Amino acid sequence: MSVSKNSTPAEGDRASPTTVQEVPSSLPTTQSPILFPNKPSEPTFQMKLDPENKLIFKSDKLNENSTAVIDVKLTNITNVRQTFKVKCTSTEIFRVRPPLGYCDVNETIKIVITAKNKAIPENGKHFFAFYHMKSEAKEIPARQIWKKSESKFEGVHRVPVFFQTADEKSAVAEATPASTLQDDSKTPEATLQDGSKTPEAASSTKPVSTNEDAAPLDTK
């Protein structure tokens, strides 16, 4: 039996546009765009990060002041020794060890990032900035190198942060667009906070210049 060209498909045969995308938009997938691309004036990141485009903190108690940890691997794939520095948007939530250091050619450094907060932060709002530049210094602490040469970094890469419960359901509906965040490149180098302090203690203490944790980015 032929079907008229103008016939209307039955209700059950209609394709629903809401069923085309099976993955909820709240979940950061491997195909998600980079939220914080480099600015035109910033040099391309030349080292290797793993994970590279997102950091996902997972815990079944994200809203119960629990701690979630991610190991980031930083590998020097250039042909010269590099020094690196890691900055974050909130030292009240995040801890980074080590926040700076040296990385020889073909060496891989494990950077441990810890998140702890009483409330689940907004997905995509926070990020980490990884900087590097070549350095053959042997006896000078990396902190002194960066204190003198912060504006001379030779590569930067920003990685957005997401939070998920243990069953892999996203904690927040959607990530914040990068356009709503402040330009951290206009911020002078901030003093580093003491990574040995807990987030609660650090939140009530002014930054000092002798501590070990990642420097905060400007979020004002």
Mean pLDDT of the 137-164 span: 91
The domain ranges of the chain are: 35-213
The pTM of the full predicted model, rounded to 2 decimals, is 0.66
Q: Quick one: pLDDT at residue 120?
A: 86
Q: From CA 167, how far away is CA 158, in angstroms rounded?
A: 27
Q: From CA 191, how far away is CA 216, in angstroms rounded?
A: 8
Q: Which helix (H) or strand (E) is 94 found in, with range? A: strand 94-97
Tell me the Ramachandran region of residue 124: left when phi exceeds 0, alpha when psi lies from -120 to 50, beta otherwise. Answer: left
Q: Does domain 35-213 have CATH number 3.40.640.10?
A: no
Mean pLDDT of the 136-155 span: 89
Q: Quick one: pLDDT at residue 1?
A: 52
Q: From CA 220, how far away is CA 197, in angstroms rounded?
A: 23
Phi, psi of 170 (to 5 degrees): -65, 140
- Compute the mean pLDDT over every residue in the chain, rounded to the nearest whole number: 72
